[in-house]
């Protein structure tokens, strides 16, 4: 009996999922996820201020796209942006002054540096899971990679918003052409939007992994990104429901939004890191272009990177 259980446990540990979990634990994934969430709590509003200002300037007076952008942000960060039922900040409060002055330029620069600290923490965490050494690429190159990652996320939000509007529009027209009921058309539109969001999330995850410097096999990169996007989609739905139920109590609304934001960032970071661990376990040998190092060395480097990111986030 005990021998059979031991064999089963050994088989599970040797499986790809088991090896991915072991890699995640060796890299101290939970600790890294906590650092990313903590950094995100200080950086998210700076990132929102820059991202929302850029998005609103791009969409202009297109109300449908504007509403979709707000809805998309709310799904990514439940309870932060006011969608009409309460939130920590409104869209108007996030939009930066368009007047070009020395003060506005310095403010944007400070916000950009703070926003990129979150991307820096994510990138450092991904490199730790892939056990990539810090090869001293230089401050400029590192910040450039963080900027690229930040731009990828902002563009992903905009593409998701525009795709959601187009999907709902096309679904409505298709439903009318086929003579479908309003309820059925609405359900079909919702499913189509979820599918589009899933595809875009998969692309974002794949790009973030590449920006981190990891080079897993293409097949594992695609499958891992798909699994991660599926898990993030479930988290978004659950997070929105939790905030919606908490918002009905005016005494808990603001506190619940902050608590859910911190929890959601932590869980999302764990999903991303677990996805990376699954990608990294494509086989027993290191992926091409990856420099495997002992877990203790990678963890030490990760701790230094997270501390640097935390310092940047708290400083702004």
* 251 in a structural domain: yes
* 287 in a structural domain: yes
* 11 in a structural domain: no
* 12 in a structural domain: no
Tell me the average pLDDT across 297-310. Answer: 52
pTM for this structure? 0.76
Task: Check residue 202 and give its pLDDT.
Answer: 93
Tell me the average pLDDT across 9-38. Answer: 87
Task: Check residue 48 and give its pLDDT.
Answer: 77
Tell me the average pLDDT across 123-130. Answer: 91
Say if residue 175's pLDDT is above 80: no
Say if residue 258's pLDDT is above 80: no
Say if residue 285's pLDDT is above 50: no
* 21 in a structural domain: no
Token pair, residue 138, equals: 């230089």
d(CA 88, CA 199): 29
* 2 in a structural domain: no
What domain range is 231 assigned to? 28-130+141-314
d(CA 84, CA 67): 11
Percent of the chain with pLDDT over 70: 72
Helices (H) and strands (E) in the chain, counts: 11, 0
* 307 in a structural domain: yes
The Cα-based distances of 139 to 136, 142, 251, 313, 316 in angstroms read 8, 5, 45, 17, 19
Number of structural domains in the chain? 1
For 69-122, the pLDDT digits (tens) are 777 777 777 777 777 766 677 777 777 766 556 666 777 777 777 778 888 889
Structure confidence at residue 255 as a pLDDT band (50, 70, 90): low
**Who's near 277: CB < 8 A, 6+ residues apart?**
20, 21, 23, 24, 27, 29, 129
Task: Check residue 153 and give its pLDDT.
Answer: 79
d(CA 216, CA 236): 27
Say if residue 149's pLDDT is above 70: yes
* 10 in a structural domain: no
For 290-303, the pLDDT digits (tens) are 444 444 554 555 55
The DSSP bridge partners found for residue 81 are 89
């Amino acid at each position: 009996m005990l021998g059979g259980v031991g064999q089963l446990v050994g088989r599970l540990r040797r499986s790809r999922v088991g090896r991915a979990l072991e890699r995640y634990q060796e890299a101290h994934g939970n600790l890294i996820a906590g650092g990313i969430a903590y950094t995100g709590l200080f950086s998210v509003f700076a990132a929102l201020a820059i991202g929302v200002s850029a998005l609103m300037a791009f969409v202009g007076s297109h109300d449908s796209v504007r509403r979709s952008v707000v809805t998309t942000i709310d799904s990514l960060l439940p309870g932060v942006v006011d969608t009409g039922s309460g939130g920590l900040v409104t869209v108007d409060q996030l939009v930066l002054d368009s007047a070009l002055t020395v003060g506005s330029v310095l403010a944007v620069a400070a916000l950009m540096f703070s926003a990129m600290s979150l991307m820096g923490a994510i990138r450092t965490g991904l490199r730790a899971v892939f056990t990539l050494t810090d090869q001293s690429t230089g401050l400029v190159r590192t910040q450039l990679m963080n900027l690229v990652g930040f731009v990828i996320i902002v563009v992903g939000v905009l593409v998701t918003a525009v795709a959601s509007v187009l999907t709902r529009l096309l679904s409505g027209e298709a439903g009318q052409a086929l003579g479908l009921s309003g309820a059925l058309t609405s359900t079909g539109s919702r499913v189509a939007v979820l599918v589009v969001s899933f595809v875009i999330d998969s692309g974002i995850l794949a790009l973030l992994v590449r920006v981190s410097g990891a080079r897993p096999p293409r097949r594992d990169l695609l499958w891992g990104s798909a699994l991660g996007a599926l898990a993030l989609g479930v988290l978004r739905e659950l997070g929105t429901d939790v905030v919606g139920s908490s918002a009905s109590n005016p005494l808990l609304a603001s506190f619940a939004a902050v608590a859910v934001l911190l929890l959601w960032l932590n869980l999302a970071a764990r999903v991303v890191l677990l996805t990376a661990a699954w990608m990294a376990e494509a086989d027993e040998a290191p992926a091409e272009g990856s420099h495997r190092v002992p877990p203790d060395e990678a963890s030490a480097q990760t701790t230094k990177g997270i501390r640097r990111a935390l310092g940047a986030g708290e400083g702004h």
